[in-house]
Amino acid sequence: MTLELPYTTGVSRDGRPVTGQVDFSQVPRFAGPGTFAGLPSLAEVGEAQAGVIGIPFDSGVTFRPGARFGPEGIRGASHLIRPYNVELDSFPFAAHQVADVGNLAVTPFGVDRAVEAMLTGLAAARERAGKLVLLGGDHTIAYPSIKTLARHHGPISVLHFDAHIDTFGTYFGAAMHHGTPFRRASEEGLLDPEGCMHVGIRGPLYGPQDLSEDRALGFQTVHSSEFSTTGLEGILEQMLRRLDGRPVYVSVDIDVLDPAFAPGTGTPEPGGLTSRELLYLIRGLAPLNIVGADVVEVAPAYDHADVTSLAAAHVAYEFLSLWGR
Ligand code: MN
Ligand code: MN
């Protein structure tokens, strides 16, 4: 036997050779390289048009820690992913080069220093790997991600799936934590106030001012309860209306899912979306210009049978599939 892994190969839609997933007809799915979906690493292919990058950082959490193991959990749950996305009629790993960029190694001791390192690391990764799906990590990582994108695109729209608004203020004197990335981004003018949206919001707040302050920042909110009244199609229409024609960053806090579908997370809230609803809505974003995405707050230690990591792996796959259409 050879120690070289056999990768599938093909030709991209613009005529370039592409290295795809490990050939799972020759390598058992549990014996592959451990990268996302068995994709080649960025080091192996040199450059890519799209990629996943792990940010194992959870020093910004306000409750249960553990999302630093999210990238490892999501990659581990991604090895059953096959190359053809039926609903989107997309071969994401053949249409263009996709790579696993690996992890950004940032300090767990000091949120501000870690965020600085993420800004540098993400800018370098985007140079070589194109459009990125970030695997969190806690939700703090959305702030440096948006900031690096806003340098290219100007103020961008954020479509934010979460149980929580994440535009809260300081906590224990800290201005940067996982409950506030969108407030900080908004204060710095990185967000398009005409084109931001939360989806899946629920659970108790400190008072109605939390929502009115959030509206003042420019966020429109689809509450989780509206899935019972407006329904999935109506909500998708509302999203497309608000975001059409703008550069959009999609941020998915896995706690947008009901704890039945995502128990492995730090701040679970009952009454959330099903995995099916979330994946359906992401596929429905096909008409939009998505410039970056993340899936955050997966904390495998609280998970059962990998359900949370599996959901997150498929969220990442849907973004790669949208970019590969
Ligand atoms: Mn949340
Ligand atoms: Mn969040």
Domain 7-323 -> CATH class: alpha beta
pTM of the model: 0.98
Q: How far is the CA of 279 from the centre of ligand 2 (A)?
A: 18
- Give the model's confidence band at 1: pLDDT under 50 very low, under 70 low, under 90 confident, else very high: low
Ligand lying nearest the CA atom of residue 179: 2
Please write the tens of the pLDDT for every residue from 18-45: 999 999 999 999 999 999 999 999 999 9
User: Mean pLDDT over all residues of the chain?
Assistant: 97
Residue 4 has pLDDT above 90, yes or no: no
Q: How far is the CA of 168 from the centre of ligand 2 (A)?
A: 11
Please write the tens of the pLDDT for every residue from 67-116: 999 999 999 999 999 999 999 999 999 999 999 999 999 999 999 999 99
- Give the per-residue pLDDT at 305: 98
Ligand lying nearest the CA atom of residue 252: 2
b/e per residue 33-54 (b: at least 16 CB within 10 A): bebbbbbbbbeebeebbbbbbb
Q: How far is the CA of 29 from the centre of ligand 2 (A)?
A: 32
Q: How far is the CA of 206 from the centre of ligand 1 (A)?
A: 15
Please write the tens of the pLDDT for every residue from 202-235: 999 999 999 999 999 999 999 999 999 999 999 9
Ligand lying nearest the CA atom of residue 181: 2
Q: How far is the CA of 164 from the centre of ligand 1 (A)?
A: 5
- Give the per-residue pLDDT at 2: 61
- Give the per-residue pLDDT at 13: 87
Residue 126 has pLDDT above 70, yes or no: yes
Domain boundaries of the chain, sorted by first residue:
7-323
Please write the tens of the pLDDT for every residue from 290-322: 999 999 999 999 999 999 999 999 999 999 999
Q: How far is the CA of 33 from the centre of ligand 1 (A)?
A: 31
- Give the model's confidence band at 162: pLDDT under 50 very low, under 70 low, under 90 confident, else very high: very high
